[in-house]
Every structure is written in structure tokens, then in C-alpha cells.
Chain A
Amino acid sequence: MTREIKIDPVTRIEGHAKITLHQNDDGAVSDARFHVTQFRGFEKFCEGRPFHEMPAITARICGICPVSHMLGSGKAGDELMAVRIPETAVALRRLLNYAQMVQSHALSFFHLSGPDLLLGMDAPAAERNVLGLAGEHPDLAKKGIRLRQFGQELIEKLAGKKIHAAWVVPGGVNKPMDAEVREKFLNEIPEAMAIAKEALDVFKSIHDNFEREIKSFGCFPSAFLGMVDSDGHLDHYDGYLRLIDADGHKIVEDFLPSDYDSVIGEAVEQWSYLKFPYYRKKGYPDGVYRVGPLARLNVCDSCGTPEADTELEEFRGLSEGRPVDSSFYYHYARLIEIVHGLERIQQILEWPDIVAKRVRARAEANALEGVGAIEAPRGTLLHHYGIDEDGLISYVNLIVATGHNNLAMNHGVKQVAQEFVKGDEIQDGMLNRVEAIIRAFDPCLSCSTHALGKMPINIELYDNKGEKIAEQSSGL
């Protein structure tokens, strides 16, 4: 007889999910699944709408990373218009993206995972939340709230609203930045940077308490995917996608996001509303790869900003230069990315033309297909649209960060459950660890279950030597 243990709902994550564990007679976990329980079918109603409405509509896919969808969508729109957008607009979009990364990573670290990391995985359930954290570490909790506020207010001042603004448009942005806004945030950067560094110090000081978690929180070799610029630096706004193996070697040459479909396939399981993307050549489910902060720091040659690069060097020391394997270190990578984001925000604000007035190119639709890619806080996000001659949407495909990580999260849940969930008496702290691995990935599930549209289908058959035997495609 196997016994089924359910964790439902998984809390302190974005979106809806549950976990089921199967436990044998001898008390060991034999299987574990992470079910995403929300389905929305969001993109279907985008069909028939003008493409320039898409950034504002798709922002509402997610309340934590609306900016990523606005930008992915805006970039796909740029492609449809086939225009070169003003340099200032590119810089403003980058600024917006970093502001979001700072707020979203702060949320993940302080509001969602902080209670596990700072109060302990076995702390009483009633205290394991941001208010409990504020009770125990008032100063740190306040600083976390303040860091998130820095990002949210920068978004508000640029885009007009903290959540679901309508500022990014195909061709650029719809309003330039005021000089006062620039002053205000330049003045606030030192405070935000001090908080980010303090968080890094805190993480490093507690990290030794989590030896068992580090070894079992999704700690396995896998491929990693992330965006880099043409020099191999970390880039969150534009560039090439890089896929590396567990030893850090490139699996394929860096490719343009518009070629995603030749590299990534998507599978479906009846027990989850979230699809399972995989690296095509390795097939399903072996083609597991990870995206997000950990993946980005693993794939890039360097961050390209001094403070983050110093941190990156130390980070890479964890695995002697090989990619860092344990998903527990998503937390660490996230904090390094906050430092990097703040450095970039400073650079962009100091650029004289950032307050220039020309921020938008205008055109009708000039191409029938466009792909916009961006690094969202949680990983690579792709918006792929087709339109008809009138500029009305005829096709939508989205691959979101959390989807890419679906296979890896399932691996991670099983690994951590096998390590910690044992015996007849199941304690809360055991199960909390199973949830905590999911929090390490920081999934965004309302995003991930929107992917809908007529997916191009491409079936490839490989023999056991990796030689392609057959291929069949349909769709676009």
C-alpha cells in the first residue's frame, strides 16, 4: 500500500499549486509531483485584437511581473512594425526592467522565502510569514519592504502605475522621463544598495545552516538557459539565448530568441495545467533545463558591472567554476542580481540622454510575425505573435519562465521529499521543506498557465545515438 500525502495549496508562492507525495510501506517517498492547478486560457481572447493593445493586455497575465509581459509584448510589437526604436526608449525600457527585477527579487527573498531562511524551516506555521519575520527581525523586514518599494516606485514614476501600467508600446514608450524622477532615484540608490548588500551578508552568514537543504533542494546536474549580449555578458533585455550543459559547455551555438522553436519543445501531462518545455534534442523528459537567476549566472561570462562581478566570482567558487547545481542557490543568485540591477539603474540614470524627449517610433504593421524575448525575474520569457494584413492578432504563443523550470521543479520536489519526508509521523517542517524548494524557484504560476494558441507542432525522432530519424512539422 502506498500512502498519499497532499500539500494543498502550496503557500507563499505566486499562483496555484499542490504537491502530492507517495509514500511506501517502509515510510520512504517513492514518487512526488508538483501540480499546477490553475488554468486560464488567457491568450485565446487576444486573437482578433489589434497588436498594439497587447502590452497592456498581457501585463494582466501577472501581478508580480507585469513589466516583463509588457516588455516581451512590446518587443514582439517592434518586430511586427519592423522599426528601430529610439535609443532613449530602449534605455527607459531597460530601466523599467531592472526596477522590476529589484522589486520582484526583494519580494521573493524577504516576503516569500525570508521566513524559511531566517526563522527556520521548522518555525511554527503561524509565524512563517512576512509579519512573523517583522516580529523577529523588525529592522531587516522593514528594509526588505523598503527595497521592494524602491523598485515599485521607480516603476510607478516611469510608467504611471505600480501594477499594470500601459507605458510600453510597440515602437518604444509613450512618455519620456522627468528630470526630477532621475534625481530622486539617483539619490535613493545608495540606500537600496546597502540593503541589497546586507541581505547578501545575511544569506552568506546563514547559508551553513542549510547543508542538507543545499544538497537536496533540486541539486542535480542539468542544462541551463539564459540571455547574454553579443559579448557574453548577462543581459536582461536583449541578446542571444545561451544553453549550456551541466559542465558549463555550450550545447548549441548562442541563438536568436526567434529560433526558440527549433531548440525547445513542449510536452503535456494530464496531472498539471502547466506544460513541460524540454530541450528537443534530448527529448522528453530527459531534456530538462533550468532558467532564472541561477541559470543566468551560470550561463553568462560575467555580469558586466563591477560589484556584481565581485560577488559572481565568490558565487562561482561554490562549485569551482562549474555551473552551480543546487537550486537552493537561486536565493543567492537573486541577491547578486539585485546588486547588478541597482548598478545598471545607476548607469542608465547617469546617461545624459535618458531624459531626451524622443521615445517612440510610429509605424503600421510591416511584418506578419514577431518574437519578443526578455529575461523576466524568473527567467526567459517569449512572446510570439502572428497577425493578419490588418494588424489583428491571429496567433499567440507564450513560453514563460516558470514553464521552463517545470521539469526541474518536479525533480526538486522528489529529491527533497526523499531526503526529508520519512516515517509514519509527518511533521510540518518536513512538508514545509518540500514547499520551500518550490519557493527557491520562485515560480509564477498565473503566468505559466496562460500559454495558449495554435502551437506550431514539430515532431522529431532521434535514435539512441542522437541521430535524427524523422521530422514532421505543422503549424505556422
Chain B
Amino acid sequence: MEKVKIGTIWLDACSGCHMSMLDMDERLLELSERIEMVYGPLVDYKTIPENVDVFLVSGSVSTDKEMDYVKKIRENTKIVASFGDCAVTGNLPSMRNPVGTRDILQEVYSQEGNPCSQLPGMSEDTPLPRLLKRARPVHEVIEVDQFIQGCPPHADLIHLIVSELLEGRTPRRGIRTMFG
């Protein structure tokens, strides 16, 4: 049987959703017989591949680079899932929104006595991704097929949804879990 191609990514996220995925423990090894991890922070690929079956996207869309990532993911993937509350609602990352991009950078980095005259991420030729005006939930930017809620979603819920997708079934969008 051909393996199902799964990608995962964290955007503006705390890594907790991915840790919860690892909390499947040995079940992860069982799943690995049926899936191929084609992208993600736990494997060594540097570009978003084509023809992905399922992509779990954790975190909010916060920078220009993350915007490019999700668009590419949408283009190359059959089923895109918003993975965790940061992706689903904007959760904690979106709490920076009322402050504004320039103000927040200014407040963090511009201090007298620093050897650097420019704020990180602000110069024309910055090597860093630029902050978008707002951190946004994923479905505001691309179409999303599946929502996996929780902060983080429980390992059992992740297991359930991934197993269903492997069977070719689509679980009801947004199975409710407790907040937090």
C-alpha cells in the first residue's frame, strides 16, 4: 500500500501542538508504517513538497514568510488542517495585534546603548521575515479543510483525526474539545 504523505509545520506557535503529537508515543511508530513524513520540524526537508495528502498547520500566520508557506502548502496539498488553537483562532499570537507592528518592535529593541542602530526585521535588506500587521488564523488566509482544536489538542484527538484521514474518512470539521 502506498504511504500517505503527511507534512507538518509550525508557524507562529509555541511547539506545544507538535509536542502533543509526539505524546502519541508508541502509536507514532505504528502510524509511521502507513505514513510518510514529507515535511516538518522533526524531519530534514527544506522545501514544501508537491502532492502532499495531509498538512497539519500549527500556529498563526504572523510574517510574510509564513504567508508564503501557507499559500504554497494550500497549492500542494489535498487536505489542510488547522492544528491547534493558534491556527484555528489566532489564540495567543493574535494578542499582539492591538499593539501594532512598529510599536511592538520599537518597544522591544530600541534601547539606548545598543550597538545596533536598526530594529531587527525593519531594514530594506533584512535577512529576517517581516511581521505582518496582524497575526491571523490560518483560515483567514487560505481555505482550511479540517480544524483540530485545543491548546494543544490532546494526543488522543490527534491520533483519532489522523487515523480517520488515513482511512479516507473526513471527521466532522472541528470536533470540540475543552479550551486549554
Contact B14 A63 (CB under 8 A): yes
Contact B127 A11 (CB under 8 A): no
Q: What are 14 A-B interface contacts by the 8 Å CB criterion?
A: A11-B41, A11-B46, A39-B62, A39-B131, A60-B14, A66-B14, A129-B43, A131-B32, A142-B26, A267-B114, A268-B109, A268-B111, A284-B115, A459-B113
Given A270-B116, A273-B120, A452-B107 in contact, is the A66-B93 Cβ separation under 8 Å?
A: no
Contact of A41 among B37, B65, B96 (CB under 8 A): B96
Give A134 to B33 CA distance when docked, in angstroms. 11
Q: A12-B41, A63-B16, A432-B44 are in contact. List 13 more A-B contacts (CB 8 A).
A: A11-B46, A18-B127, A37-B128, A39-B62, A40-B96, A41-B105, A44-B104, A66-B14, A134-B29, A164-B151, A164-B180, A268-B120, A272-B120
Q: Is the interface of A mostly helix, strand, loop or mixed?
A: loop
Given A134-B29, A142-B29 in contact, is the A163-B152 Cβ separation under 8 Å?
A: yes
Distance of A171 from chain B, by nearest CB (Å): 21
Q: Which of B11-67 contact A (CB under 8 A)?
A: 12-20, 22-23, 25-26, 28-29, 32, 37, 41-46, 62-63, 65
Contact B22 A270 (CB under 8 A): no
Interface residue ranges, A against B (CB under 8 Å) = 7-9, 11-16, 18, 20, 33, 35, 37-42, 44-45, 60-64, 66, 107, 111-112, 125-126, 128-131, 134, 141-142, 145-146, 148-149, 152, 162-164, 166, 267-273, 275, 284, 432, 446, 451-452, 454-455, 457, 459, 474
Given A37-B65, A457-B111 in contact, is the A148-B22 Cβ separation under 8 Å?
A: yes
Contact A272 B15 (CB under 8 A): no
Give A459 to B111 CA distance when docked, in angstroms. 10
Distance of B137 from chain A, by nearest CB (Å): 15
Contact B13 A162 (CB under 8 A): no
Contact of B128 among A35, A128, A130 (CB under 8 A): A35
Given A41-B104, A145-B29, A270-B118 in contact, is the A64-B96 Cβ separation under 8 Å?
A: no
Distance of B116 from chain A, by nearest CB (Å): 5
The 7 closest A-B pairs by CB, nearest first: A63-B16, A63-B15, A45-B95, A459-B113, A270-B118, A129-B43, A125-B44
Contact A40 B62 (CB under 8 A): yes
Distance of B31 from chain A, by nearest CB (Å): 9
Looking at chain B, what size class is its interface with the partner chain? 35 or more
Interface residue ranges, B against A (CB under 8 Å) = 10, 12-20, 22-23, 25-26, 28-29, 32, 37, 41-46, 62-63, 65, 92-93, 95-96, 98-99, 104-105, 107-109, 111-123, 126-129, 131, 151-152, 155, 180
Distance of A398 from chain B, by nearest CB (Å): 11
Contact A273 B152 (CB under 8 A): no
Give A285 to B105 CA distance when docked, in angstroms. 22
Give A181 to B65 CA distance when docked, in angstroms. 45
Given A142-B26, A163-B20 in contact, is the A35-B14 Cβ separation under 8 Å?
A: no
Contact B131 A163 (CB under 8 A): no
Contact B17 A63 (CB under 8 A): yes
Give A267 to B28 CA distance when docked, in angstroms. 42
Distance of B134 from chain A, by nearest CB (Å): 12
CB neighbours (8 Å) of A162 from chain B are: 19-20, 23, 155
Give A448 to B170 CA distance when docked, in angstroms. 37
Give A38 to B99 CA distance when docked, in angstroms. 17
CB neighbours (8 Å) of B111 from chain A are: 268, 455, 457
